């Protein structure tokens, strides 16, 4: 009898006991020499703040994760760790694909460099080769509707233009993982419709997607997995999106965390 073995699917993203700590206190306001002297004499004050504490989950190709939680829950900080902007204080983030993170859209650009130079720079930061950017550049600029501004210094663009360029670069480089932080659309008018259509096509094309949204209806309708954070702590993670959304909506009115999830 022939033995059949199924190859186990590997996670595309794995957060293993991820915790992120911020430090505040005297060392922010004094020089290193003064800080060391105070440390020796124990005459200094440092406060620890855990933005995220012991977060665990795995995502597989094609998953769409909704992250919910009130302001200050640690959602944006966690996204920065996933996208590589921050290094966890404890735990690890393992990613097996290219990430496009639509977080602070217009950040990370060089104001003195031109639109074209910034496009190549952002592409390099995302891990793409010059040849790939050469082949994709015209499409990126056309999608962003910036054909007439390619040699313009980035600092001279309007905020809407900056966001359009950032969105276009992130969405047109075919990411394996797409991170959306309250930016399901950018710009206005025709570009908003175009950006929404592009994101839907990326998601339908099988990209693993992480969505942070205050719209529970959006999470209910789009996500197959859900992570609930509260004051940095993981309340729950699972695939029963309806049950967890129902519990979260109840929490918003009662302010009492569930004990049965």
pLDDT in tens, 64-116: 999 999 999 999 899 999 988 899 999 999 999 888 777 666 667 899 999 99
- DSSP states along 26-71: GGGTS-HHHHHHHHHHT---EEEEEEEEEEEEEE-TT-EEEEE--T
pLDDT (0 to 100) of residue 3: 41
What CA–CA distance (Å, rounded) separates 120 from 124? 6
Question: What CATH class does 61-254 carry?
Answer: alpha beta
pLDDT (0 to 100) of residue 39: 67
pLDDT (0 to 100) of residue 45: 64
Contacts of 204 (CB under 8 A, 6+ apart): none
**By the 8 A CB rule, do 175 and 207 touch?**
yes
- The mean pLDDT value of the chain amounts to 85
Q: Given phi > 0 = left and psi -120 to 50 = alpha, else beta, which region is 174?
A: left
Mean pLDDT for each consecutive 10-residue tract of the chain (261 residues)? 53 97 67 70 74 97 94 93 92 91 72 95 83 94 95 92 85 82 64 78 85 87 94 96 96 92 82
SS3 labels along 80-134:
HHHCCCCCCCEEEEEECCCEEEECCCCCCCCCCCEHHHHHHHHHHHCCCCHHHHH
* Bridge partners for 53 per DSSP: 233
| Among the listed residues 16, 64, 10, 62, the one whose alpha carbon sits nearest the alpha carbon of residue 227 | 64
pLDDT (0 to 100) of residue 6: 41
CA 91 to chain centre: 18
pLDDT (0 to 100) of residue 112: 95
Structural domain spans, the chain: 61-254
Provide the total of helices (H) and of strands (E) in the chain, helices listed first.
8, 9
Backbone angles phi, psi at 189, to 5 degrees: 55, -130
What CA–CA distance (Å, rounded) separates 180 from 177? 10
pLDDT (0 to 100) of residue 5: 41
What CA–CA distance (Å, rounded) separates 188 from 167? 13
Give how far Cα 36 sits from Cα of 32, 40, 248, Å: 6, 6, 46
Give how far Cα 18 sits from Cα of 32, 59, 77, 207, Å: 29, 15, 11, 23
Put the strands of the sheet holding 13-25 in their side by side order: 90-95, 13-25, 46-59, 233-238, 225-230, 64-68, 208-212, 177-181, 99-102
What CA–CA distance (Å, rounded) separates 165 from 173? 12
pLDDT (0 to 100) of residue 28: 55
pLDDT in tens, 132-154: 999 999 999 999 999 999 999 99
């Amino acid at each position: 009898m022939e033995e059949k073995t199924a190859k186990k699917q590997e996670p595309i993203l794995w957060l293993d006991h991820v915790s992120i700590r911020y430090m505040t206190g005297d060392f922010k306001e004094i020089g290193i020499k003064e800080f060391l002297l105070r440390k020796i004499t124990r005459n200094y004050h440092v406060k620890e703040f855990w933005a995220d504490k012991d977060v665990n989950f795995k995502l597989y190709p094609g998953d769409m994760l909704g992250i919910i939680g009130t302001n200050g829950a640690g959602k944006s900080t966690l996204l920065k760790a996933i996208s590589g902007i921050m290094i966890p204080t404890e735990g690890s983030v393992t990613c097996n694909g290219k990430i496009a993170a639509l977080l602070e859209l217009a950040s990370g650009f060089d104001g003195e460099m031109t639109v074209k130079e910034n496009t190549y720079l952002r592409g390099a930061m995302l891990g793409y080769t010059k040849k790939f950017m050469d082949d994709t550049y015209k499409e990126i600029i056309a999608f962003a509707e910036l054909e007439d501004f390619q040699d313009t210094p980035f600092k001279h663009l309007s905020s809407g233009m900056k966001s359009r360029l950032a969105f276009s670069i992130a969405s047109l480089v075919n990411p394996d993982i797409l991170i959306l932080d309250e930016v399901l659309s950018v710009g206005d008018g025709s570009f908003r419709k175009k950006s929404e259509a592009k994101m839907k096509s990326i998601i339908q094309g099988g990209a693993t997607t992480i969505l942070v949204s205050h719209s529970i209806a959006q999470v209910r309708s789009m996500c197959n997995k859900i992570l609930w954070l509260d004051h940095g702590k993981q309340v729950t993670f699972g695939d029963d999106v309806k049950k967890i959304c129902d519990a979260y909506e109840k929490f918003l009115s009662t302010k009492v965390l569930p004990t049965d999830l």
